[in-house]
Homo-oligomer: A and B are copies of this chain.
Amino acid sequence: MLLPYGVSYEDIGRLLISCPDRPGIVAAVSRFLFERGANIIHSDQHSTDPSGGTFFMRVVFQMAGLERRGEEIEREFLPLARSLQMDWRLAHAARTKRLAILVSRAEHALLELLWRRRSGDLGAEIALVIANHTSLAETAATWGIPFHHIPVEAGHKAEAEEEQLALLRTYEIDTVVLARYMQILTPRFVAQFANRIINIHHSFLPAFAGANPYAAAYERGVKLIGATAHYVTAELDAGPIIEQDVQRVDHRHTPADLLRLGRYLERVVLARAVEWHVEDRVLVYGNRAVVFS
């Protein structure tokens, strides 16, 4: 009864669940999967409190014919999901997410994502680059990615966003990545991609939210600079944090040095967050992000 060789990527599913905690959830879910011939490859769960808390679970399983049987499985799962008051989704590993990268002039974060995509480390399609400047047109061209220049002029953001949203529909985009995109999105835009817009902020949030965080960090004399990748919400720099990291600096670093060093931090922190998102490792709960490792 060992698994046959040649397991197909098409057969890998990822089930994400959050619900009120109570005994028996793991047993019920694993039994449901087992009875349908699924093999659990990895499973992780967490409870904020076994007595009345919230339960989170991510199960990666293999199931022959998942691609074909997906809808049926979802239908069959419904009664269990309802009885346990689950928020849940079933993702197919083979349905690679399609990303749009929004940029301004800075290259580093975009380049890192392109590179990780080519090297096979980022399991997503980079379908589209949208920029409010033209500086990165050639970079996108070199990597063979469609590039659209949509300037965002004062007082005309609504029109620009309309154009952006139309493109996102045309390219069937799942997730929007703000790779040092120096514009604030309107709540209207954000609402259409709830928990599907990832931004990289160049500070250790909540410290130094808003503009010019490196200048503020220098002014305050911090000994570590940071970067934060988070989902975008209506409130600026306040959405659920997916990943953060820091780097040591000292008195010899000028604000320009912090900006320069920070780029290396930003590209890594953003790339990790995007990878985790496209692998369905992130569950948003209130204003916090649960990241299954």
* Contact (Cβ within 8 A) A220 B204: no
Q: Which residues of B contact A108 (CB under 8 A)?
A: 115, 119
Whether A137 sits at the interface, judged by CB under 8 Å, is no
A interface SS class:
mixed
Q: Which residues of B contact A260 (CB under 8 A)?
A: 121
* Contact (Cβ within 8 A) B45 A7: no
Q: Which residues of B contact A206 (CB under 8 A)?
A: 207-208, 220, 222
User: Of B1, B224, B251, which is within 8 A of A246 by CB?
Assistant: B224
- What's the Cα separation between A241 and B225 when bound, in Å? 13
Whether A222 contacts B241 in the complex (CB less than 8 A), given A26-B40, A34-B23, A207-B206, comes out as yes
User: Of B25, B40, B264, B290, which is within 8 A of A27 by CB?
Assistant: B40
Q: Which residues of B contact A245 (CB under 8 A)?
A: 224
* Contact (Cβ within 8 A) A62 B50: yes
Whether A170 sits at the interface, judged by CB under 8 Å, is no
* Contact (Cβ within 8 A) B221 A289: yes
User: Of B50, B208, B264, which is within 8 A of A41 by CB?
Assistant: B50
Whether A221 contacts B207 in the complex (CB less than 8 A), given A26-B40, A43-B43, A251-B46, comes out as no
Q: Knowing that A27-B33, A220-B288 touch, tell me 20 more A-B residue pairs with CB under 8 angstroms.
A: A1-B23, A2-B20, A3-B21, A7-B51, A26-B30, A26-B43, A27-B31, A27-B40, A30-B31, A46-B251, A108-B115, A121-B260, A204-B207, A220-B241, A221-B240, A223-B241, A224-B246, A250-B291, A251-B290, A293-B293
Please report A residues at the B interface, Cβ cutoff 8 Å: 1-5, 7, 20-28, 30-31, 33-34, 37-48, 50-52, 56, 62, 107-108, 111, 115, 119, 121, 142, 204-208, 220-224, 226, 240-246, 250-252, 254, 260, 263-264, 268, 287-291, 293
